[in-house]
A = this chain, B = another copy of it.
């Protein structure tokens, strides 16, 4: 072993331990903490962030990185050590430009903002939340101002969630995506589908049993996982052997819990599948949030809402809830959970309209950060874009601008990764089906382990060793693309609606005259 790598690993391990503590403080705040504990919790999160940030940006870290880089085996550029040094050096170069006090204040404001958002959303009162959002935006601008080597301010923020991705590239992908989706949605949204099988009365005890059965098939194990209730579902790995997912429940709408746990378990499987050789290093995380979301969406939509696995779900649901649901068949379920219908809430959106929710947030965030939009004008602008993209009126802020947790926690630049995740999921899904061969047959039997192992082998185990783009190049042979997603969705919606749909020609392809 070389001379600087071990001290570097020790130093980074302790910072990962602090991250472990911060992850638990945050999980607890969203699942367990009594409301009056919010102020002290914000202080604790801020302190951990300041200490972590100072420890990370210290010159000693840079010296260890520099020395370690010289000691690396040039014959093993993809080895854990080589990737650790490269990835951490990039992060260190970025982090050391940010003063500790700013990093601390961002963490404190996030924790306080979260609690303010919970109450504002409950009361559907944007004005109560506006000062916290304004403060978070101001801190985000201060953060951007720490850097000078970017094309646009949003690049700096986006890079924290999707390393090395550029705003311009996201814009290009989203334009193509929207161009393809709008006519697809227009073809199917007016068509009738019966969604009554998943709307009704589903006692929570039964839902908990159903969800436990589905999670067990996916790979959830009591010894290393938890499932808890929360307002805004999320997944987090606190540390090795400790993956926590969360959900919310609706007695009248079964998909809320069912697909949210499949989604979050997809995230959890990613984190749980990271190679143990990366334990207690900064590589023991997702490479990007886009790739993270590809895992959750793949399990939620391609598995959970796919026709083969509906053949497993339908009898489980029928058995659990009996009565009128007893005769639920797989085709009926498949159609009921894939209805395309513009709606107000992003996390409940179907696969086709989902991206439109993201596009409007992506645009609004850029406007807010660049100062083209005032916080006070945000609700109006939100409502008008919902009307423009989804054709809907927003009845109140809780169903509009206050619906998402992200801005309360200062997470600006995060939303685009959701839509990127959908694209990546389709690319991985296509490749997995080719590699595995009998994927549909396995899913029909409820045998999810070959898919899980394929993802572990080709995606999960690498953690943050590579960027999403590099990982995709290795796994599917190219960059993020729109076409596989549109192809997947067109085929699926053709089945759901029993019509022959066609996707419009690709933007930039020879037959398209207008972008």
Residues on A lying within 8 angstroms of B by beta carbon are 13-14, 17-18, 20-22, 24-25, 28, 32-41, 43-44, 46-48, 50-51, 222-226, 238-243, 280
Contact of A21 (CB < 8 Å), options: B14, B44, B240? B44
Kindly state the separation between the CA atoms of A439 and B477 in the bound complex, as whole angstroms: 79
From known contacts A40-B239, A41-B239, infer whether A224 and B18 are also in contact, taking CB-CB under 8 Å.
no
Kindly state the separation between the CA atoms of A32 and B17 in the bound complex, as whole angstroms: 18
Are B44 and A20 in touch, CB under 8 angstroms? yes
Closest 8 CB pairs of A and B: A40-B239, A37-B242, A36-B241, A17-B47, A20-B44, A36-B224, A21-B21, A40-B240
Are A13 and B43 in touch, CB under 8 angstroms? yes
Contact of A36 (CB < 8 Å), options: B18, B40, B223? B223
Are A241 and B17 in touch, CB under 8 angstroms? no
Are A37 and B222 in touch, CB under 8 angstroms? no
Residues of B within 8 A of A51 (CB): 14, 18, 51
Contact of A39 (CB < 8 Å), options: B14, B41, B226, B241? B241
Are B280 and A33 in touch, CB under 8 angstroms? no
For the complex, would chain A's binding face be called helix, strand, loop or mixed by DSSP majority?
helix
Kindly state the separation between the CA atoms of A345 and B211 in the bound complex, as whole angstroms: 40
19 other A-B residue contacts (CB within 8 Å) besides A24-B28, A39-B241: A14-B50, A17-B47, A18-B44, A20-B40, A21-B21, A21-B48, A24-B25, A34-B222, A34-B223, A34-B226, A34-B241, A35-B223, A36-B241, A36-B242, A37-B238, A37-B239, A40-B238, A40-B240, A41-B239
Residues of B within 8 A of A13 (CB): 43
Residues of B within 8 A of A44 (CB): 17-18, 20-21, 24, 239
Give 5 CB contacts A-B under 8 Å.
A20-B25, A24-B44, A33-B238, A36-B224, A37-B242
Kindly state the separation between the CA atoms of A22 and B28 in the bound complex, as whole angstroms: 13
